[in-house]
């Protein structure tokens, strides 16, 4: 029961502090799930995040379910998904009841502007921390990262297509490395 309470608390924090979309949860996952609890590695978090982007639904909840299920099975996945959704539901309900009355106040507009800036900082921080585990060699940098980055910036190709293409390239490159290592090992 204690582990489920940890899951609930950890993912309620994710749900309560993820402003600005799924990317904003990466620093929280990195700090709590990877560093504090050790429930998943950085690589696993990135894999779950990539899969969550390809699936229908909210990226934060999908990722939370993957992590919770890995840690404590299906009940852990359900607990993590529900816990990550609960703060958002409460906050959105309260804001929806009050927003029209306060939306035009300069302090509210400035608060939202400050939150947007903070979210950008959190995303950049997560990218810098996760870069080391994602870009493992020059092949992944040149043939996966650079093209996917360029295509996402300069075209309207669906992120799903980019993720699937990157996965295919990852498999191809791992096979090339495996064959190369096998060939060198046989000499």
pLDDT tens digit sequence for 139-151: 888 989 999 999 9
Using the Cα atoms of residue 35, residue 50, residue 62 and residue 112 in order, give the sign of their dihedral.
positive
Looking at residue 185, its pLDDT comes to 73
Looking at residue 74, its pLDDT comes to 95
Domain boundaries, the chain: 2-132, 135-187
- Count the residues in the chain: 187
Overall average pLDDT of the 38-62 stretch? 87
Question: Is the confidence at residue 177, as pLDDT, over 60?
Answer: yes
Question: Is the confidence at residue 187, as pLDDT, over 70?
Answer: no
* Separation of alpha carbons 175 and 160, rounded Å: 23
- The SS3 call for residue 104 is coil
13: Cα within 13 Å, side-chain hemisphere? 13
């Amino acid at each position: 029961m204690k582990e489920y309470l940890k899951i609930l608390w950890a993912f309620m924090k994710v749900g309560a502090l993820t402003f600005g979309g799924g990317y904003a949860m990466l620093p929280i996952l990195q700090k709590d799930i990877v560093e504090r609890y050790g429930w998943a590695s950085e690589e696993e978090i990135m894999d779950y995040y990539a899969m969550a982007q390809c699936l229908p639904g909210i990226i934060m909840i999908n990722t939370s379910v993957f992590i919770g299920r890995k840690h404590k099975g299906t009940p852990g996945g359900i607990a993590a998904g529900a816990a990550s959704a609960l703060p958002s539901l409460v906050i959105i309900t309260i804001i929806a009841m009050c927003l029209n009355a306060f939306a035009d106040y300069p302090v509210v507009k400035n608060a939202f502007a400050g939150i947007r800036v903070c979210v950008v900082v959190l995303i950049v921080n997560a990218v810098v921390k996760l870069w080391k585990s994602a870009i493992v060699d020059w092949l992944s940098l040149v043939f996966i990262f650079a093209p996917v980055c360029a295509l996402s910036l300069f075209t309207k190709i669906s992120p799903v297509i980019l993720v699937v293409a990157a996965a295919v390239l990852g498999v191809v490159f791992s096979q090339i490395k495996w064959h190369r290592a096998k060939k060198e090992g046989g000499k």
